[in-house]
Amino acid sequence: MIYIKKDEEIKRMREANLIVRDVLLLLESKLKAGMTTKELDQIAYKYITSCGAKPSFLGYHGYPASICASIDEQVVHGIPSERIIKEGEIVSIDVGAVINGFHGDAARSIYCGEITPEKKRLIDVTKECFFKGIEDLRSGTPLYDIGAKVQKYAESNGFSVVRSLVGHGIGREMHEEPSVPNYGKMGTGIRLKSNMTIAIEPMINMGTYQVDFLSDGWTVVTRDKMPSAHYENTVLIKDDGVEILTL
């Protein structure tokens, strides 16, 4: 079932998503070579709870942390650990927060120090894929137009789009209908409606689009072990466009 939010519910979602935005900015400012992904997780937990919110991910189907921290060939859902972050690595951080009954969700691929031009371009194109996906997006737009635009832009830049993982509706639950794939055919899918809220999250690989799921039950990696990047925002569909709640 797809939920159309009321004005009061959207107000609560804005609050949750601003917390997510701010924790991502904080983590980007704190990231440095030599720290562990677990340290990033601790910073996120402390900030989210200081805002009176709870981490959406912590305990979700048994997930043991407040953020997902995925490095290089890890596409998404990397579990924070004692792994040390090295200069030149892509660190994809996914964060969710819930307050007053509503969730926010966003992700960024960041790095510290020097990084190869190829990795930097992958990060930039992944972010650009999100903004291509929301071009002309408004009430009445077919859902799969989003993914069609993401796919076209990614592939035109020589990258591939992950098929096994998708974006999603969001609100009282972190994952709601509809699923929001990053590939598709223009003019197809349900028609989006004003006051729907969805998380759009391009996951773009340098090599093959194929991925594998590791034995920890969470971490997803590229099959060819080439780098991946992730960029996500929660957006509100409006009559005349979208409002990005996590910017």
State the pLDDT at residue 33: 96
State the pLDDT at residue 68: 98
- Cα 102 to Cα 12, 55, 108, 197: the distances in Å are 6, 11, 21, 11
Q: Structural domains in the chain?
A: 7-244 (3.90.230.10)
The 10s digit of each residue's pLDDT in 24-41 is 999 999 999 999 999 999
* pLDDT beneath 70, residues of the chain: none
State the pLDDT at residue 229: 98
The 10s digit of each residue's pLDDT in 183-236 is 999 999 999 999 999 999 999 999 999 999 999 999 999 999 999 999 999 999
State the pLDDT at residue 22: 98
Residues 207, 196: Cα–Cα separation, whole Å: 33
The helix (H) or strand (E) run that includes residue 113 is: none
Residues 80, 62: Cα–Cα separation, whole Å: 14
Contact between 194 and 139 (Cβ < 8 Å): yes
Cα 73–Cα 174–Cα 142 angle in degrees, nearest 5: 85
State the pLDDT at residue 32: 95
Token pair listed for 60: 């979700």
State the pLDDT at residue 181: 98
Sort 12 into a burial class: Cβ within 10 Å, 0-12 / 13-18 / 19+: buried
Nearest C-alpha neighbor of 95 from the set 12, 164, 16, 159: 16
State the pLDDT at residue 112: 87
Q: Which residues of 196-211 are buried (b: 16+ CB within 10 A; e: fewer)?
A: bbbbbbbbbbbeebeb
